[in-house]
Amino acid sequence: MSQNERINIAVLTSGGDAPGMNAAVRAVVRTALTRGVDAYAIMDGYRGMIEGGDNIRKMDWESVGGILQLGGTVIGTARCDEFRTREGRRKAAHSLIQNDIDRLVVIGGNGSLTGANIFRQEWPDLLSELVDQEVISQEAAQAHPNLFIVGLAGSIDNDMFGTDMTIGADTALHRITEAIDALSSTAASHNRTFVVEVMGRHCGYLALMGGIATGADWVLIPENPPEEEDWEGEMCRALKSGREVGRQHSIVVIAEGAHDRFGKPITSEYTKQVLEERLGEEVRITILGHVQRGGAPSAFDRYLGTVQGYSAVEDLLKSKPDQEPQLVGIRQHGVVRSSLMECVAQTQEVARVIQAQDFETALRMRGGSFAESYRIFRTILRSHPNPPETGQRRLRLAIMHAGGLSPGMNTAVRAAVRLGMDKGHTLLAIRRGFHGLIDGDISELGWMSVSGWVSKGGAGLGTSRHIPAGRDFYSIAKNLESYEVDGLLIIGGWAGYQGAYQLFKRRNDYPSFNIPIICLPASIDNNLPGSELSIGADTALNNIVTNVDKIKQSAVASRRCFVVEVMGRDCGYLALLSGLATGAEKAYLPEEEITLAELQRDAADLIAGFKGGKRLGLMIRNEKAGGLYDITFMSTLFEQDGGGLFDVRQAILGHIQQGGSPSPFDRIQATRLASQSIEFLLSEVDKPVLAAAAIGLKGGEIQFTSIYDFPRLIEPGFQRAKEQWWLKLRPIAATMDQTPGAE
């Protein structure tokens, strides 16, 4: 390849740092190297580009080893006023030309991406000026007539159009949730109120979702200020009402950009003063600040940075001179491309609309799920339900679990109970899964009986994997009739779906089965048809990633390979996604046949890596992958073939994957799905043919799938769906495989 034909790609991070940026940098470098392209990192953002020299560094495979689990950005970031000037951009162009770079991946927020586009537009003129000043040759300018740019949105605020999530937002939500969970216990001990301020100058995403995920008592966001002129009075009445029914503490979450309907800022200090004066309580302020940016990135942000970094390189290699710069985002679990400047313009428009006090438009521009989440929050924060409407039919809706334990089950029950009661209906608890429905272990739930359940792991109603059969159906029919159940919500996994299908099939035999039934997917295995994600899978994934990070630290101390076994039964979701998020060399899936020859090749790759200087090997396997080639066999094979070059240890993570508090994502999605499930039951109850369905997230939207189709949608002989969207991530995982280097 001649000098003029060389393709070099550079990556930079600019503006505020965001957890997950390192995953994106790693993906850009390794994808470029895999495609035979040289990769460069520009240190300290645009400032490093202007200064050039050692700030533009050629990267190899090992350069980005061991950075997935690190917060911040290892290549640095800085705000650079000089880049705002033409002279600064001319210096930056000179630095790039010196390194034959004309393709950039820019990871940052609104301002960083806007600056990148201006730089791209000026590029030909900047090179002409450098030629005129005899700084570069005409040949060098002709070799790089265009600058190609792909943008990745890195911002904890989640305020960028063109993507459902920005890099860093999920981790920031983890920090907020962890902090408020911790504050809640000390607040309850002293019967205190805490005012918690979170980031978000023009976007209330973190405040609203943090409020939903922690069961906060009040939230103030820029997009929808309090409607009442005396909003302070309304807030105080709500908090006082909560204390009167037994709440031991109160949490108010404020976005840093919150204001009233007249544009007057609402500060945490003012809110504290109002609460102390009107309620006579002790109030404490906690401003979370930059802790929201810090720490190890969540599993999702590692995944997000990886798939977007991979796609950015693919796009740059196919870019054409007349092509508009693109923002690579994620929507409906798939990578999407949008016009970079259209996304920037839309993002800036929301801030303008808020400043113009057009709050209805601002809320609408955030999307339907944002407005829906705000409506749900306003209902479940209350201390008691609205009274039933005069003359309305009061339904009796039952809730139960079935299948394995999944974090987020309690969150879903809490939302379903409160949203159902708020519409004037009676909610019943069926305990111990189908065992409880068979034995008549059924009781009425109250509004405060689910208080505090939003953050609790486990399953307060109990669960079991029992699937009804034989005489069970007679007992179930009798109890449904005896307790006058008008609708049934099953929050659970495979056993819940199979049980619902069995009830649906026997409607002609048992008239009491002829009620609307809805299954809400809750399974860490993420193996259910009709939904791309199940409640609990995100928590399990984060549990795996956290523990594998610790395992990797222990392994680096000596030359060691770990074979880690994760759950999933017949579905390899946890294995593949945790492999992507932890930098594993290989993920073994039950969907793929594993041969002895393949394992021997993997052992040979490990040997080559350790001979090349690596100190750590990591293999992740699903609990059912490989058949007879179990974890003991794999570990023994790798150690035997290694011949003393490295030792091998195995780690079966087991039920730790089901434990702990649910992740913010699982709490939020459990709340949304429970809300729609209650709406489904209410809408179906008066129809001539009553539906039995499964609710789920498909294509980024909430959709319903008939239980009648359950057998058609599953893989015969296996506990998994036929269609599994995440399998398309295998090429990305293969690209990230660290054959030549160390993680």
Lookup: tokens for 61: 């495979």
DSSP H helices, 245-297, are 268-279
Tokens representing 278 are: 């009107």
Q: Residue 342 CB: number of other CB atoms within 10 A?
A: 13
How many other CB atoms are there within 10 angstroms of residue 70's CB atom?
Answer: 15
| Per-residue tokens: 126 | 């900047």
Counting beta carbons within 10 angstroms of the beta carbon of residue 227, is it exposed (0 to 12), middle (13 to 18) or buried (19 or more)?
exposed
SS3 per residue for 120-167 = HHHHHHHHHHHHHCCCCCHHHHHHCCCCEEEEEEECCCCCCCCCCCCE
Residue 176: CA count within 13 A, CB half-sphere:
35
- Written as one letter, the residue type at 408 is G
* HSE-up of residue 66 (Cα within 13 Å, Cβ side): 14
Instruction: Answer positive or negative: Cα dihedral of 575, 577, 582, 583.
Output: positive
Specify whether 157 is catalytic. Answer: yes
| Main-chain dihedrals φ then ψ at residue 200, nearest 5 degrees | 130, 80
CA atoms of 736 and 424, how far apart (whole Å)? 53
SS3 for 20? coil
- Report CA dihedral (507, 510, 515, 516) to the nearest 10 degrees: -40
Whole-Å CA distances, 44 to 15, 41, 158, 564: 9, 9, 22, 36
CA distances from 82 to 50, 600, 619 (A): 8, 55, 46
Say how far apart CA 130 and CA 143 lie, in whole Å: 14
**β-sheet bridge partners, residue 183:** none
Give the CA distances from residue 248 to residues 234, 243, 411, 607, 653, in Å, rounded to whole numbers and listed in that order. 19, 7, 19, 59, 36
Q: Which amino acid does the sequence have at 505? A: K
| Alpha-carbon dihedral 119, 120, 124, 128, rounded to 10 degrees | 20
DSSP string, 352-368: HHHHTT-HHHHHHHT-H
Which of 102, 157, 602, 666 is catalytic? The answer is: 157
In angstroms, the CA 579 to CA 726 distance is 13
Question: What's the DSSP call for residue 542?
Answer: H
Question: Cα–Cα distance between 559 and 358 in angstroms, integer?
Answer: 61
Length of the chain, please?
743
Task: Return the biggest CA–CA distance within the chain.
Answer: 92
Please tell me the distance from the alpha carbon of residue 201 to that of residue 657, in angstroms, as a whole number. 36
SS (H, E, C) 250-264: EEEEEECCCECCCCC
CA dihedral 550, 551, 553, 556 (to 10 degrees): 180
Distance CA 43, CA 54 (A): 8
What is the distance of C-alpha 261 from the center of its chain? 32
DSSP string, 545-560: HHHHHHHHHHHHTSSE
Give the Cβ contact number of residue 471 at 10 Å: 9
Residues involved in catalysis: 157
